[in-house]
Amino acid sequence: MVKSKLCNLYNLSPQELIQHHEEEEEMGGYFIVNGLEKVIRMLIMPRRNFPLAMTRHKWKTRGPGFTEYGVMMHCVKDEHTAINMNLHYLENGCVMLNFIFQKELFFIPLGFALKALVNFSDYQIFEELVKGKEGDTFYVNCITEMMRAVVDAGCFTQQNVLEYLGKSFRIKLNLPEWYSNEQAADFLLNKCICIHLTSRTEKFYLLCMMTRKLHAFAKGECMEDNPDSLMNQEVLTPGQLFLMFLKERLESWLQSVKFVLEKRREKADIVINADSLVKAFSLVTDFTKPFEYLLATGNLRSKTGLGLLQDSGLCVVGDKLNFIRYLSHFRCIHRGAAFSQMRTTTVRKLLPESWGFLCPVDTPDGEPCGLMNHMTAVCEIVTEMVPVTDIPPLLCSL
């Protein structure tokens, strides 16, 4: 990246830049690919680790009994690994947990997921789910039915459920043969369900809270969360995108090395030493090429999808028609390609809370109107969470 710490122009004064035949006011922040100045777009993402109640009519097509009601969560770890997870409300009042693994949709009845996470009795799980709604007979019956479905499948203990889930999913998880079904289920729970939490008990309590919110939403007791509201959004910065992609490419690269070593050992029965490792590394493709492809085309070649809603249009050419136009590329913030194809009747408008953050004037006409905005001059993207102790003095100062 031009003017980054690895760039030759880093920390040069305007006079030194001129001596290097560069522009005096060179700001950097872009990549040069095939002679073009490429800028990675900032994308608006759903707020991390927060359950959003939504209606999507296409959810009805996911299977028999599915309704348009759901609670969605964009789960993000501290090191920015991300997945999207949904709870779906079924016509009979039961709840289905849905997650994406290697770009494939998977569904688990909620009762199985809850019983696999904690070693609680059925009554303890039931009590946590109906907390505050003991008088709602329909809800209580729905929860009873969900718990009964687990018992009907022959799963009476946490061990039984882990064995059952591991046996069902291991063919899709690409795990070593020596992994037991229970270990396969552990891998599934760690990698695909509420990945931002490390404690299984915390995952259990979060899913219970999301279930209560989903039922309240389906029965009209709470409003739908607005995905266009600033409080339900966050920004994906170029650094976060690179980090997520780098981790995935390293993992794929290591799997390729393993595959090459296994093939060579089968053929020649070689002993794995330093020489054989060097040979294996030379046979595996360079993992920097996908990054060059990403910057050159703006297309993301990813096995997992990185929890993004799009895999194209991630980079744009920073055209220098004039200085203000060039500057606007670094303030541009995109709603995402998924929203341009979405058949929705809601108006693309700036809500009152967006004022001061997004510029109400700086939005293009035509199809991308409302999808492509620009941050105001005073707006700043924060990448570190504000400590709770700093919030009261800040509120008092305002």
pLDDT of res. 363: 83
pLDDT of res. 50: 96
- Contact yes or no for 71/99 (Cβ under 8 A): no
SS3 for 396? helix
SS3 for 62? helix
State which residues of the chain have pLDDT below 70: 268-270, 345, 386
pLDDT in tens, 149-191: 999 999 999 999 999 999 999 999 888 889 999 999 999 999 9
Using CB atoms within 10 Å of the CB of residue 17, give its burial: 0 to 12 exposed, 13 to 18 middle, 19+ buried.
Answer: middle
Q: What is the 3-state secondary structure (H, E, C) of 22-58?
A: CCCCCCCCCEEECCEEEEECEEEEECECCCEEEECHH
pLDDT of res. 270: 65
Domains of the chain are 1-33 (no CATH), 52-218 (3.90.1110.10)
pLDDT of res. 345: 67
pLDDT in tens, 230-253: 999 999 999 999 999 999 999 888
pTM: 0.89
- Contact yes or no for 384/394 (Cβ under 8 A): no
